[in-house]
Structures are given as structure tokens and as C-alpha cells.
Amino acid sequence: MIKAGIIGATGYAGAELVRLLYGHKEVEVVWYGSRSYVDQKFADVYHNMFQLVDDKCLDDNLPKLAEEVDVIFTATPQGYLASVLTEEILEKTKVIDLSADYRIKDVATYEKWYGIKHQSPQFIEEAVYGLCEINREKMQGCRLVANPGCYTTCSILTAYPLVKEGLIDVNTLIVDAKSGTSGAGRGAKLPNLFCEVNENIKAYGVTTHRHTPEIEEQLGYAAGQEILINFTPHLVPMNRGILATEYATLKKVTYPDGTLDYPSEEMLRAAYDKYYKDEKFVRLLDPGVCPETKWVEGSNYVDVNFIIDERTHRVVMMGALDNIVKGAAGQAVQNMNILFGFDEKEGLDLVPMFP
């Protein structure tokens, strides 16, 4: 049994961490950190945990927390962890950060897109980008995990096999994504009020969304070259879920008989099978079946599929996940399982909820 602490436990991602770790047989949560609710019972903030969690919320004293736990989850705003993380903390415990502070390797890119100065760039290089299905081996023995963003996880996993196998022209990639309102966090914000969101769908962060460089960097590693994409997020009136619809031009390939032509559906499906057939949490759907957020809600699954547009020689790639689970807390737990050698699905073997 290991001990865990959560900083930011009363945000949506933090509360989801509490829910998932409650059902984890190898972990005990001993620190529910929350600046807003210090000394209040966690179950008074989230009544779904009534008679399940009796602990009170504590502060965000990271040095003290590092003395008491084996792993710290930081579900905090950008810039927080970078401002407090020290070598002494990392010598004592592992840290899984759900913010963007250590996701992007280029400091200038981080500071440009997030508009803040990075206060501990010395830890960026050692941080492992925690997209489990791609970087599992890199996490062996690491101290600091940069948990990927929600849009990013969906966007990368949806396109990764075709990018990695060189079957699409990566510089034609367009990502059109929709998210439920929980992706904006629990703070009171005018654009997220019920009357603003209900019966509405809108694009936001057009050409400026902060997940853009993260998607470009990670798919660039897969492609072996720098890439630029168009990424447009949309807000839809639902609590949870992300749906990414991605478009790219297919690249001609040489067939065994020497013919140069566009790849077939069988070839693209073989690429997805190559990377995902043994992955517990990525489900390649049957031909012609489009991913839907309702079939992954409350779970750590990502559903992906594709359809070839024969007329334009483009491929439409689709992915769906729960932005709070696989897009945040579930992925963090999956990363923790890898770090400590637990069964990767421990605490995450959840059947999607419906309705």
C-alpha cells in the first residue's frame, strides 16, 4: 500500500482522482489539498463522498507533503508546480502533474502560449510526457510525470498510428474538437454559466488554444519532423466528454506489386492495430462505427476510428474520451500504476456509464 497526496483535490480533476483512488486497492489518499476549503471536510464539498471520505482538506504545503507520501498529484493551475517544485521534493517522492508546466520541452514555447514565466525550467528535460500508450517505457524510474492535456490526449491518440507510419501528410492535419463544460474547471466563469452554455455550441481559442503546441510537439516526435496544425476547440452543453474529428490528406504508398497509390482501408486499420491491439484503454471500433462521447463517459477508454474519403483522398479520423478520466485523472492514475509497477488497469477497470 502506498500513500498519495492530492493538491487541488476540490477541482473537477482532483475530485475525480479521489473517486478513482478510493477504488484502488494499492493506494491510500492521506492528503486532500485545497486552498479554498482548508479545514472543511472533503465530503462537505463533494457530497458523493459522504461516509466514504471523512478527512478534512489541508493546505498545499508541498515540502511537508513530500515527507508523508510516495506520490503527489498536482491538479493545479498552470504555473503553480513550477513555482514550488524543488530537488528536495523530487528526492523524497514522485510527482504527477496535471497542469501544463512540464509538458512542453521548449521553455519559450510554453511561456509564449501560457503567458507566464517558467520558474523551474531545470526539471523540464527529465519530466516524462505521460501519454501511457506512447511513452510507457520512458516512465520506468522517473520522478516527474507531465500528465497530458485532455484535448491533447484525444487528438494525439486519434491520429498517432497514421502519423507514425507516414500514411498522412502531417502538415495538412486539421483537428476539430468539442468538449463538455467540465474541461474549463470548477471556477465560476461567466461563459460557463448554464444560460450561456445551454442550447449553444461555440468555437473558442481559435488559433490560440494552449493545447496546440502540445499536440504539435508530440505528433512531431511521431512524424520525425516539426509540424503545424490547425486546432479548433468548441464548447458543447454537456458535463463530460471530448470528441475530436481530424482531417488529413493521405500519402501515396508503394504496394507489393510496385503500384503507387493511396493506402487502402485495410492498410490504415493495420496501422491502428499495430499500436493499439494490445492497449487496454484504446478501443479501435468496427469499420463504419463513429466514436461517441456517451460510450466512454465515466471510463478511462478512448474510442477511435477512421473513414477514408475516396473522393478527396483524405482520411477522417475520430476519437472520443471522458475529459476528466482519460483526459486527466484516469490517465494520472494509469501513470501512477506504471511508476509503481501495479497492474495498469488497477482502479480504472470501469465500464462506461450509460445513460
- The grid cell for 57 is 482538506
Distances (CA, A) of 90 to 71, 102, 104, 336: 10, 14, 19, 15
Report d(CA 317, CA 311) in Å as an integer: 16
- The grid cell for 139 is 516512465
Residue 35: alpha-carbon gap to chain centroid: 24
φ, ψ of residue 73 in degrees (nearest 5): -100, 130
φ, ψ of residue 234 in degrees (nearest 5): -135, 145
Report d(CA 182, CA 337) in Å as an integer: 25
Task: Count CA atoms within 13 Å of residue 121 on its CB side.
Answer: 11
Rg (CA), the chain: 20
Task: Count CA atoms within 13 Å of residue 110 on its CB side.
Answer: 19
Q: Which of 64, 69, 57, 63 is nearest to 8 (CA)?
A: 57
Report d(CA 340, CA 346) in Å as an integer: 11
Report d(CA 151, CA 140) in Å as an integer: 25
CB-based contact 344:132 (threshold 8 Å)? yes
Catalytic residues: 150
CB-based contact 157:282 (threshold 8 Å)? yes
CB-based contact 139:128 (threshold 8 Å)? yes
- Rounded to 5 degrees, what angle do the CA atoms 169, 172, 177 make? 120
Distances (CA, A) of 152 to 52, 243, 260, 320: 33, 11, 33, 12
CB-based contact 125:283 (threshold 8 Å)? no
Q: Which residue, chain included where needed, has cell 508546466?
A: 101
